[in-house]
Chains A and B, each alone.
Chain A
Amino acid sequence: MRLTSHKVRMAILAISLAFSAPVLWGVVNGYYVGKNITYIVATNAGGGYDAYARLIGGHLEQKLNAEHVIIRNVPGAGHYIGANTLARSRPDGLTIGTFNAGLIYGQLTGNRALRFDLRNLGWIGKAAGEPRAMVVSARCAIKTIDDLIAAEEPVAFSGAGIGSASYADTRLLSVALGLNIKIIPGYQGTESEMAMMRGEICGQIGSQSSSQGFVDAGYGSYILTIGGDMVGIPNAMDYAGDERARQIVQLISNMAELGRISAAPPNTPQEQLEALRTAYRSALEDPALLETASRMGRPIEPAYGDDVRQLVVGALDQTPESIQIITRALNADAL
């Protein structure tokens, strides 16, 4: 038989494919073996995003059999620099990142700092997602949400920077419920609580758990929850007077759900994305991680893959009228 006959060639092809199939399979499944994964965190070291990344990153390393998961802090410009860096990274499955979902507001209002479309990211999952709650200082005359609604003089509330989640949530809620709130921006992190203790700020809107210590110590009390269920505390949706108000409250609620999101750059190959999603889910279901997170006081309320993608796409899917309301609400001149 001549070696160049058609049958022989087909036989050789079949045999080599049969041998290479396990190798190919090994290549996809063992893709991360011996490789380093970079986990971009859009804040400085030491904060919440950094803590979640380090916690999850350590477990991802095991689940993927990767050499290391390296945390790379890329802070600045309210998470925009880190997010842009992630979007620009090589889509080879070896870079992932985490940043504030508040950038969704940025995309809705056409913020030029955002250099990509959030819909195009390879969404891996989210680790937390807490309802927002309104807290007032014990030194403030406002004791209930009804007092706030009835207030004739503007009531001082704190916000972080212009465009931050706390600022956006406070502005949007005051538009939705017709609250006479004067936001004083520039209070980072726990500075706001100190200001409330001093009595210069009446209240703030933030995640439920971040104010728990403050409330437990008797310095303040919860008066409203947005998107959550707190015993004895009224829900913002009950005070939404019309469809527009309900839409806004729902948006705040949806945004609050998207806590500690993680994603891969656009055009990350599907196999690698699936591997990352699987490992991420496995990490967040690992009892060891849950125990450590609980010890650190970091709530874990996960969602994965396409569920997160749908939440993001849904939040970005607003009518032109809604976008106008949001832009006007977030416009600092409205202060």
Chain B
Amino acid sequence: MEISGILNALITVVGSPTHVLLLLIAVPVGMFFGAIPGLGGKLGIVLAIPFVFGMDPLAGAIFLVAMHSVVHTGGAIPSILFGVPGTGPDAATVVDGLPMTRSGQAGRAIGAALGASGVGGVIGGLFLLAIMPLLRPVVLAFGPAEFFLLALFGITFIAMLAGDSLIKGLLVGLFGLMMAFVNLDPQTGAQRYTFDFLFLWDGIDIITAVLAIFAIPEMIALGVAGGSIAEVRQRASYGLQGVLKGIRDVFRHWGLTIRTSVIGAFIGMIPGLGGEAASWICYGHAVQSSKTPDRFGKGAVEGVIAPETANNSKEGGSLLPTLFFGVPGSSGMAILLGAFVMLGIQPGPSLALTGMDIVWTLIWALMIANILAVLMFFAVAPSFSYLSYVRGSLLIPFVFTLTYLGSYLSHRAWENLVLLTVLGTLGYLMKRHHWPRPPFVIGLILGPIVEDSFHKATALWGPLFILRPGAMALMALIIISFGIYFWRARNKKLKKAQNAV
């Protein structure tokens, strides 16, 4: 690794007033796109392309990477305050973020999300630097067999996130899996439960589903209960204190923070798994590695830290295959890739030989943007937390509009608004009768990956694909994961029995 090259790149970024100015503009723009549900980083890049077209290639690339890498930092805000996920991957933040807001800890949750995003983004960048020599063998080690088991591993988290009832969790998860198969069969082209609706050919839109399952039920429940989201009255100065406490929490749980950052970056590095998977897998890891998993879903700050670190670190990870293979690590990266080509930067195997300076510069831009996002937002974060005290009758129409707009913006299909209403009603019924909701989303997200990779793997190697080394390793992970879960469940039962005596 050429230290001088890396340092030169840092000077390129911070030493040029143009680059610094671009960073200062890109960061709030990126956070804005993340904070409005349905917009997201992809649209941000698309809208920014006409502006950067014609710019110096490096300056344009710095702007786009910086903007894209802080989208999820902004996305955490509506997730925590209103239970409306700003972007798909931010849905996992809702599970514990919203309960924290309800108990008057909105400031702390926002602080934790901010700090986690910043640290996650930086660690993601450092991960890029460290893993570069190993990139090719690692990325190429993941084929359909490994994807199948990785997705299956993700689905085992359904059990983990089922809350009090494993049966309910499994039913909801399997229902989500069932919904994932509403599309055009990728193997035969046959229509599956699409009822001749073209908008369902590509499957149920994830953003719509996530907004329906998380945002709509919260607003209906708020309307029914009355009052504001925060159910606890707090002193006016709590805003800033809360945010600082949240940031301290990130460092208090440093082990979890580092682990989920690395896992997120790793998942981002493997093209094909997707951003939503990273945040849910890390959330599940937080639950699994906690000594008190029962706190999750009720306002555990680790439940905010884990997905938020993963959201930002995966951006660093996904930059790797995008730059070095020309294979986008995520759908956002696909657009970024197009933008790079438009700017005259040619991603691909040749970049490693001739364009390493660009790579180092972009990694620095990513890390600095994440730090800037924390600093910029820190100034306004406390005032945001007061939104949780706004009366429901004022908030609900606003959030509903945001939700419907977000659903429409994501796919431009009016039929999704009907779907949003139907699934939203279902989500409310689930909430009312205490059925867990995250497993539905996990089933929906991972279902297509499981199916696609299963078919590819059996087509390539037959049913014995399970005996491939990578597959066996992941199988062992699944078994261990289940083992830990059942061992804990057994211990809980024993403890309960002892306490009863």
B-binding residues in A (CB < 8 A):
44-47, 50-51, 54, 72-78, 80-81, 84, 112-113, 156, 161-163, 182, 184-186, 189-191, 193-195, 197-198, 200, 213, 216-217, 219, 295-297, 332-333, 335
Bound complex: CA of A191 vs CA of B337, how far in Å?
14
B327 A186 Cβ-Cβ under 8 A: no
Report the minimum CB–CB distance from B199 to chain A (whole Å): 6
Bound complex: CA of A84 vs CA of B197, how far in Å?
13
Report the minimum CB–CB distance from A276 to chain B (whole Å): 22
B460 A200 Cβ-Cβ under 8 A: yes
Q: Which residues of B contact A332 (CB under 8 A)?
A: 187-190
Candidate in B188, B189, B201, B202 with the most chain A CB atoms within 10 angstroms: B189
Q: Which residues of A contact B325 (CB under 8 A)?
A: 190, 193-194
Report the minimum CB–CB distance from A54 to chain B (whole Å): 7
The residue from B50, B187, B327 contacting A194, defined by CB atoms under 8 A apart: B327
Bound complex: CA of A50 vs CA of B198, how far in Å?
21
Bound complex: CA of A88 vs CA of B336, how far in Å?
32
B196 A46 Cβ-Cβ under 8 A: no
A111's nearest neighbour on chain B, judged by CB, is: B189
Q: Which residues of A contact B348 (CB under 8 A)?
A: 213, 217
B456 A77 Cβ-Cβ under 8 A: no
Q: Which residues of A contact B327 (CB under 8 A)?
A: 189-191, 193-194
A47 B140 Cβ-Cβ under 8 A: no
Given contacts A45-B46, A76-B199, A161-B184, 11 further A-B contacts (CB under 8 A): A46-B45, A46-B337, A72-B412, A74-B412, A75-B202, A185-B186, A189-B328, A195-B143, A198-B140, A213-B348, A332-B189
Bound complex: CA of A198 vs CA of B456, how far in Å?
14
Number of interface residues of B (CB under 8 A): 50
Q: Which residues of B contact A213 (CB under 8 A)?
A: 326, 346, 348-350
A73 touching B412 in the complex, CB below 8 Å, given contacts A186-B455, A198-B140: yes
Closest 10 CB pairs of A and B: A46-B335, A162-B189, A77-B201, A45-B46, A46-B338, A217-B349, A332-B188, A190-B327, A77-B198, A184-B459
Q: Which residues of B contact A190 (CB under 8 A)?
A: 325-328
Q: Does residue B342 face the partner (Cβ distance < 8 Å to A)?
A: yes
A-binding residues in B (CB < 8 A):
42-43, 45-46, 49-50, 139-140, 143-144, 184-190, 196, 198-199, 201-202, 271-272, 325-328, 331, 334-339, 341-342, 344, 346, 348-350, 411-413, 452, 455-456, 459-460
The residue from B198, B326, B346 contacting A80, defined by CB atoms under 8 A apart: B198
The residue from B42, B144, B344, B350 contacting A45, defined by CB atoms under 8 A apart: B42
Q: Which residues of B contact A78 (CB under 8 A)?
A: 184, 201
Bound complex: CA of A74 vs CA of B198, how far in Å?
12
Q: Which residues of A contact B271 (CB under 8 A)?
A: 191, 194
A298's nearest neighbour on chain B, judged by CB, is: B341
Bound complex: CA of A73 vs CA of B45, how far in Å?
14
Q: Which residues of B contact A46 (CB under 8 A)?
A: 42, 45-46, 334-339
Interface of A is mostly: mixed
A47 touching B186 in the complex, CB below 8 Å, given contacts A76-B199, A84-B198, A191-B327: no
Bound complex: CA of A195 vs CA of B444, how far in Å?
25
Candidate in A75, A194, A333 with the most chain B CB atoms within 10 angstroms: A194
Bound complex: CA of A75 vs CA of B43, how far in Å?
14
Bound complex: CA of A84 vs CA of B452, how far in Å?
27
Q: Which residues of B contact A295 (CB under 8 A)?
A: 344
Report the minimum CB–CB distance from B38 to chain A (whole Å): 14
Report the minimum CB–CB distance from A207 to chain B (whole Å): 15
A81 B199 Cβ-Cβ under 8 A: yes
Bound complex: CA of A46 vs CA of B339, how far in Å?
7
Please, could you name 24 A-B residue pairs with CB atoms under 8 Å apart, sorted by A?
A44-B42, A46-B335, A46-B338, A50-B338, A54-B49, A76-B201, A76-B202, A77-B201, A80-B198, A84-B198, A113-B201, A161-B189, A162-B188, A163-B189, A184-B456, A185-B187, A186-B186, A190-B328, A191-B272, A194-B140, A194-B271, A200-B143, A213-B346, A217-B349
Bound complex: CA of A51 vs CA of B202, how far in Å?
22
Q: Which residues of B contact A162 (CB under 8 A)?
A: 184-189
The residue from B50, B198, B349 contacting A76, defined by CB atoms under 8 A apart: B198
A81 touching B198 in the complex, CB below 8 Å, given contacts A194-B325, A332-B187: yes
B183's nearest neighbour on chain A, judged by CB, is: A77
Q: Which residues of B contact A80 (CB under 8 A)?
A: 198, 201
Bound complex: CA of A261 vs CA of B184, how far in Å?
25
Bound complex: CA of A162 vs CA of B350, how far in Å?
32
Q: Which residues of A contact B452 (CB under 8 A)?
A: 186
Bound complex: CA of A80 vs CA of B350, how far in Å?
36
Q: Which residues of B contact A200 (CB under 8 A)?
A: 143-144, 460
Report the minimum CB–CB distance from A104 to chain B (whole Å): 17
Bound complex: CA of A156 vs CA of B342, how far in Å?
33
Report the minimum CB–CB distance from A294 to chain B (whole Å): 11
Candidate in A47, A182, A186, A332 with the most chain B CB atoms within 10 angstroms: A186
B412 A112 Cβ-Cβ under 8 A: no
A47 touching B144 in the complex, CB below 8 Å, given contacts A76-B201, A77-B201, A297-B341: no
Q: Which residues of B contact A333 (CB under 8 A)?
A: 188
Report the minimum CB–CB distance from B347 to chain A (whole Å): 9
Q: Which residues of A contact B42 (CB under 8 A)?
A: 44-46
A186 B456 Cβ-Cβ under 8 A: yes
